[in-house]
Chains A and B, each alone.
Chain A
Amino acid sequence: MAKSASHPEPLDRPAQKPDGPGDTASTNPGPLDRPAHKPDGPGGRIPGPRPTNAGPGRVLVAVYGLFALAATARAAVQIATKFHEAPLAYLLSALAGVVYILATVALARSDRRFAVLCCSVELVGVLAVGTASVIDRGAFPDATVWSGYGQGYGFVPLVLPVLGLLWLRRTGRA
Chain B
Amino acid sequence: MTPHGVGTAIIVTALLAAAWCLVTTLRKHAIGIGELIAMGVVQALVMAQIVISVVHLAQGQRPQSLVTFVGYLVAIFVILPAAGVLARLEPTRWGALIATIGCAVVAVLIVRLNQVWTGVG
Contacts and interface: CB of A to CB of B under 8 A. Distances in A.
A binds B: yes
Interface of A: 11-21, 23, 26-28, 30-33, 54-56, 58-59, 61-63, 65-66, 69-70, 73, 77, 80-81
B68 interface: yes
Interface stretch (B6-14, B41-49, B55-63, B88-96): B88-96
A61 B79 CA distance: 14
B91 to A, nearest CB: 4
A69 B75 contact: yes
B86 to A, nearest CB: 5
B33 A73 contact: no
Nearest to B100: A59
Contacts of A18: 27-30
B32 interface: yes
Instruction: Rank and list the top 10 A-B pairs by shortest CB-CB distance, nearest first.
Output: A13-B32, A30-B91, A19-B28, A16-B30, A58-B90, A18-B29, A62-B98, A26-B92, A59-B97, A77-B67
A14 B92 contact: no
B30 to A, nearest CB: 4
Contacts of B15: none
B29 A13 contact: yes
A58 B95 contact: yes
Main secondary structure of the interface of B (DSSP, over half): helix
A153 to B, nearest CB: 9
B83 interface: yes
Interface of B: 27-30, 32-34, 65, 67-68, 71, 75, 79, 82-83, 86, 88-95, 97-98, 101-102, 105
Given A26-B94, A55-B90, A81-B67, A13 B28 contact: no
Given A13-B32, A73-B75, A54 B101 contact: no
A17 B88 CA distance: 12
A59 B94 contact: yes
Q: Which of B28, B90, B95 has the most CB of A within 10 A?
A: B90
13 contacts: A13-B30, A18-B28, A18-B29, A23-B28, A30-B90, A30-B92, A32-B89, A33-B89, A55-B94, A59-B97, A62-B83, A62-B102, A66-B105
Contacts of B93: 19, 26
Q: Which of B79, B82, B93, B102 has the most CB of A within 10 A?
A: B93
A55 B87 CA distance: 10
Nearest to B74: A73
B28 A58 contact: no
